[in-house]
Chains A and B, each alone.
Chain A
């Protein structure tokens, strides 16, 4: 028997056939005994299953098992969508508050640009931390007084008018200078040797050697300058390179603009190559990063200062000042009489 006929018989048993389908099947049943027998078999099976279901009752043990549920209050499982959203929002807010609290308890280190040198000096100490500078001997002359005292004098003392404009300072030229003559070249090599000597003095640990008078003349730190060990400023090659541009203003008693100095060892070296003729006595005022230094220009037979002026910067530079390149202001002024 095909499945379509079988399905018709099954549906006929359940009274699911209507209209034409039902009448057509009843017509076939009246004329086909085999079909009637099959319908009888299906009906008996259906009744047997119903009888099987009718005789079965649930066991009494089931009531005992489900008794706790029957006595318990109905569980509210339904959560309205709005409450779901509220719960989600509350979870997000709680997570954000937790994160904020964690950040407050463990803040990230705030390193500003100004504090970077300090942080760097802590991580990698500058030479000043390695070398304990020995205090320089205190002198009696005003020009050998501690830098701090000189600054106070300059600040508190009466203003001294400059009688007449000083001739310009000759500043060391660029590194690529015109090739000098043989005699000049020999002298230049000597000057550079002196310059290197001054530089070595600048970086040498204090206590290893005392600055000599020669070194003072050639640009080493003046004796008796400064008592407080601290960082040193040095106008290095960067200053040399910057100097020509500042030397382009002739007739000025000061070096216009700024010099670029490289703060490395605590020595300020000003690349002045020649003293102004007839300008003695003249004080050189140097201001580097808020530190002011007044230094008497040393005398030289021909007015030349091959190594420039090198002087120590007393005290510790402003907080946050580490190795680096800074602007220095240099001017020459008549020494108060």
Chain B
């Protein structure tokens, strides 16, 4: 029997990151994450382990974020490009001893990636994030998005190519 505390500790960052990617705003992502975990808390007693806990939690998150996006459809949204304080940590992870120039290049590249991600459509953004950002398998992504696995393969290929084109400008 998994407890809410365990689920929260394990998924709070992935869920927040997904919310951040799909909402584009930190405040909104915070509210959305809180709402998602409220739903997880309510549904946890009924979770019987038919699916993996990761796909179950991401499914709740995706359904809520999608409904949120539908409600706010038509509202212009600009995703801020702000590497923030955590950027140096990310670069350090990628390169233990980067030079200032390399760090600047890495920050710039991450900024371009984030901007390119934000320019993608929602279906492309979520599939590329679940696979490359959260490392979910094709089967798990198919379960979360409730689409056939072949759709995941083809959609992911197109999303990656779109991201490449967006980064190249």
Chain A residues near B (Cβ < 8 Å) = 1, 3, 6-7, 9-11, 13-14, 16, 38, 41-42, 45-46, 48-59, 61-63, 65-66, 69-70, 72, 74-78
Q: What are the nearest 10 A-B pairs in CB distance? A: A55-B90, A53-B133, A10-B157, A7-B157, A49-B132, A58-B16, A48-B113, A78-B46, A65-B34, A58-B13
Shortest CB distance A57–B (Å): 6
Knowing A58-B16, A66-B34, the reply to whether A45 touches B163 (Cβ < 8 A) is: yes
CA distance A90 to B40 in the complex (A): 31
B77 — which chain A residues lie within 8 A by C-beta?
Answer: none
B43 — which chain A residues lie within 8 A by C-beta?
Answer: 77
Interface flag for B69 (CB, 8 Å): no
CB pair A53 B34 closer than 8 Å = no
Q: Which residue of B lies closest to A1 (CB)?
A: B161
Q: Which DSSP category, helix, strand, loop or mixed, fits chain B's interface?
A: helix
CA distance A336 to B129 in the complex (A): 123
CB pair B90 A52 closer than 8 Å = yes
B133 — which chain A residues lie within 8 A by C-beta?
Answer: 49-50, 52-53
CB pair B8 A70 closer than 8 Å = yes
CB pair B138 A74 closer than 8 Å = no
Shortest CB distance B68–A (Å): 16
Shortest CB distance B1–A (Å): 9
Interface flag for B131 (CB, 8 Å): yes
CA distance A16 to B33 in the complex (A): 32
CA distance A38 to B33 in the complex (A): 36
CB pair A65 B30 closer than 8 Å = yes
CB pair B41 A69 closer than 8 Å = yes
Interface flag for B99 (CB, 8 Å): no
Inter-chain contact count A-B, CB under 8 Å? 132
CB pair B109 A48 closer than 8 Å = yes
A6 — which chain B residues lie within 8 A by C-beta?
Answer: 157-158, 160-161
CB pair B110 A52 closer than 8 Å = yes
CA distance A56 to B163 in the complex (A): 19
Given A48-B113, A66-B37, 7 additional A-B pairs, CB 8 A: A3-B157, A45-B167, A48-B109, A52-B110, A55-B110, A58-B33, A77-B42
B79 — which chain A residues lie within 8 A by C-beta?
Answer: none
CA distance A52 to B93 in the complex (A): 11
A61 — which chain B residues lie within 8 A by C-beta?
Answer: 30
CA distance A75 to B38 in the complex (A): 11
A69 — which chain B residues lie within 8 A by C-beta?
Answer: 4, 8, 37-38, 41
A7 — which chain B residues lie within 8 A by C-beta?
Answer: 153-154, 157
Interface flag for B26 (CB, 8 Å): yes
Knowing A7-B157, A62-B34, the reply to whether A49 touches B4 (Cβ < 8 A) is: no
A-B contact pairs, 24 of them (CB 8 A): A3-B157, A10-B153, A14-B138, A14-B156, A16-B153, A41-B168, A45-B164, A48-B113, A49-B128, A49-B129, A50-B135, A52-B114, A54-B90, A55-B87, A56-B20, A58-B12, A58-B13, A59-B30, A63-B12, A74-B3, A74-B44, A75-B44, A76-B45, A77-B42
Q: Which residue of B lies closest to A79 (CB)?
A: B46
CB pair A9 B157 closer than 8 Å = yes
Interface flag for B102 (CB, 8 Å): no
CA distance A63 to B5 in the complex (A): 11
Q: Which DSSP category, helix, strand, loop or mixed, fits chain A's interface?
A: helix
Shortest CB distance B39–A (Å): 10
Q: Which residue of B lies closest to A41 (CB)?
A: B164
B135-162 vs A, Cβ < 8 Å mask (1 yes, 0 no):
1001000000000000001101110110
A57 — which chain B residues lie within 8 A by C-beta?
Answer: 13, 86
Shortest CB distance B147–A (Å): 15
Q: Which residue of A lies closest to B1 (CB)?
A: A74
**Which chain B residues numbered 5 to 24 have a C-beta less than 8 Å away from chain A?**
5, 8, 12-13, 16-17, 20
Interface flag for B50 (CB, 8 Å): no
Q: Which residue of A lies closest to B112 (CB)?
A: A48
Interface flag for B94 (CB, 8 Å): yes
CA distance A58 to B17 in the complex (A): 7
CA distance A16 to B160 in the complex (A): 15
CB pair B12 A48 closer than 8 Å = no
- Cross-chain contact of A75 among B5, B42, B94 (Cβ < 8 A): B42
Knowing A49-B129, A52-B110, A52-B133, the reply to whether A10 touches B12 (Cβ < 8 A) is: no
CB pair B45 A3 closer than 8 Å = no
B13 — which chain A residues lie within 8 A by C-beta?
Answer: 56-58
A62 — which chain B residues lie within 8 A by C-beta?
Answer: 12, 16, 30, 33-34
Q: Which residue of A lies closest to B167 (CB)?
A: A45
CB pair B164 A74 closer than 8 Å = no
CA distance A6 to B44 in the complex (A): 39
CB pair A52 B113 closer than 8 Å = yes
